[in-house]
Amino acid sequence: MRVLPLLVSLLCLAACSDGGKVLVWPGEFSHWLNMKTILDSLVDRGHSVTIITHSATPSVVTKSSRFNVEILQVPYTKEDITKHFEEMLSYWVYDMPNDSFLRASLKVKEMIDRGVEQNHALCRALYSNKGLIEKLRQEHYEVILLDPMAMCGDLLAQTLDVPFVLTLRFSFGSAIERQCGQLPTPPSYVPGWDPIYTELAGKPTELCDVLSKADIWLIRTYWDFEYPRPLLPNFKFVGGLHCKPAKPLPEDMEFFVQSSGDDGIVVFSLGSMINNLTMERANTIASALGEIPQKVLWRYSGVKPETLAPNTRLYDWLPQNDLLGHPKTKAFITHGGTNGLYEAIYHGVPMVGIPLFADQPDNLHHMKVKGAAVSLDFNKLESKDLVAALNTVINDPSYKESIMRLSRIHHDQPMKPLDEAVFWIEFVMRNKGAKHLRVQAHNLSWYQYHCLDVILFLLAIVGMFIFIVVKSCCFCFRKCFGKSLLKKKKE
């Protein structure tokens, strides 16, 4: 009698382990950290995951027992990428606020162009490797998971004829979502060919034409963060998918945390890309931290500030999620990156935001409007401002109440964000795409999308009606009064 249940269990195990093949075109830094959470879950569910990265990647894994990795050789180094990011961040944070609009625009364009050149080199390295393309084609992948901030993943999906899923927080002005995803916020838009896509595809190809073929868009936010707006059925919100319950802290760190007593602790991190500050800014911040009664754990690997107080400890790395989930954590000083912001929402910790670049000001504006954060200007920040902000979010109960309300919304979902992300990826694999969720707007020309052809037709009908009415009136007028007018003229 015991044999049958055992046999059924073995059959179920075999069926569950029969996973599919997933190809991955990842982004870098925090984008990669978020995507890796999904990949780990896919591997745990029995899927085979292959990552395509390059020889200069500063963050994506190049050796792993869990993933298959294909490495493209590119004509630049990890140091080149790191230096480019450091220069861009330094200018954006310290110099851009003091430059004129024109000079800042030109400088930012120059730095973006350099990043685009590296992207183009990566695309050419992929498409010049015919052997790899053929190898990927023979593998018969069921889905491609890609970050649209890294170019050509969508073009690869088109080349391999494989459905693909996008994962992103948002693009500037939501341009990609609106123009490529056809979110119902129509802009004034004129298509244009993308040179690198045209070169690699061998025919005139527009970036949005390729990107719009995405079956599912995984958006790294949720309604605890977003404002209500119209959406499409293939846009799925999975914000906070990387968050998890806190684990115990390292022994020495736990001892420091417990030494805070009833005052508690403040966690301070400016993200994975900011490792040091100018001495002037570091001293300003350290001086402020020394004025609060809480103990402070600061992720910082720069030169030790001269004003560092005994209540503040510096760390090269922090178990941020575990610290934010600690019962003694009173506040989180953050740059406003999406990953850290969602860990604060998950654990219900009010924030003091110091946005530096990219989407961070927008992220923290959301939290400020929702009453869960105070936002400060990095370049204008004085010690008294940071002290006041920390005292406000720690001592004003409305901030804790607001972040706990957002935390309850985040946890009160029919499915965990990570499970939903994995579900939709597997859904695309099982059904060989999700084209039934894509709106017909993708198949309309720009003038059809904006109903210009309908408007023109209606104007033509109205014009014709007016023309007929005017002509008819003129005809009737001539018939009725034409002879009497002619008689009067003769007399």
Q: pLDDT for 333-391, tens place per residue?
A: 999 999 999 999 999 999 999 999 888 999 999 999 999 999 999 989 999 999 999 99
Q: Is 50 helix (H, G, I), strand (E, B) or coil?
A: strand
Which range is least confidently modeled, 94-108, 438-452, 461-475? Answer: 438-452
Q: What is the pLDDT of residue 115?
A: 87
- 64 falls in which pLDDT band (50, 70, 90)? confident
Q: What is the pLDDT of residue 13?
A: 38
The whole-model pTM stands at: 0.82
Q: Kindly report the CATH class assigned to 251-411.
A: alpha beta
- 481 falls in which pLDDT band (50, 70, 90)? low
Helix (H) or strand (E) holding 127: helix 101-128
Which range is least confidently modeled, 387-396, 414-423, 425-434, 446-455? Answer: 446-455
Tokens representing residue 188 in the block:
């004034």
Q: What is the rounded CA–CA span in Å between residue 157 and residue 142?
A: 10
What is the residue-averaged pLDDT of the chain? 87
CA–CA distances in Å: residue 150 to residues 146, 164, 237: 8, 14, 20
Q: What is the pLDDT of residue 491?
A: 58
Asked whether the predicted pLDDT for residue 490 surpasses 70, the reply is no
Q: What is the pLDDT of residue 195?
A: 77
Asked whether the predicted pLDDT for residue 188 surpasses 80, the reply is no
DSSP labels, 295-357: EEEEE--SSPPTT--TTEEEES---HHHHHTSTTEEEEEE---HHHHHHHHHHT--EEE---S
Q: Which of 374, 364, 365 is nearest to 400 (CA)?
A: 374
Q: Which of 153, 165, 205, 226 is nearest to 437 (CA)?
A: 165
Q: What is the pLDDT of residue 185?
A: 55
Residue 409 is which amino acid? I
The average pLDDT across 37-62 equals 94
Q: What is the pLDDT of residue 5?
A: 43
- 50 falls in which pLDDT band (50, 70, 90)? very high
Residue 202 is which amino acid? G
Q: Is the pLDDT higher at 406 or at 204?
A: 406
Residue 64 is which amino acid? S
DSSP labels, 130-177: HHHHHHHHHHT-SEEEE-TTSTTHHHHHHHHT--EEEEES--GGGHII
- 112 falls in which pLDDT band (50, 70, 90)? confident
For residue 375, the cross-strand partners are 353
Q: What is the pLDDT of residue 4?
A: 45
Q: What percent of the chain has pLDDT over 70?
A: 88
Residue holding tokens 């400016």? 270
* Inter-residue contact 268 to 297 (CB < 8 Å): yes
**Model confidence pLDDT, tens digit, residues 272-329:** 777 778 899 999 999 999 999 999 999 998 899 999 999 999 999 999 999 999 999 9
Any residues with CB less than 8 A from the CB of 21 and at least 6 apart, and which?
47, 48, 50, 139, 140, 141, 142
Q: What is the pLDDT of residue 408?
A: 97
Q: Quick one: CATH architecture of 21-241+433-440?
A: 3-Layer(aba) Sandwich (3.40)
**Model confidence pLDDT, tens digit, residues 304-316:** 999 999 999 999 9
CA–CA distances in Å: residue 288 to residues 17, 115, 300, 309, 311: 54, 36, 16, 9, 11
Asked whether the predicted pLDDT for residue 460 surpasses 80, the reply is yes
- 191 falls in which pLDDT band (50, 70, 90)? very low
Any residues with CB less than 8 A from the CB of 300 and at least 6 apart, and which?
268, 275, 276, 277, 282, 314, 315
Q: Which of 371, 247, 352 is nearest to 298 (CA)?
A: 352
Q: What is the pLDDT of residue 178?
A: 56
**Model confidence pLDDT, tens digit, residues 113-136:** 888 899 999 999 999 999 999 999
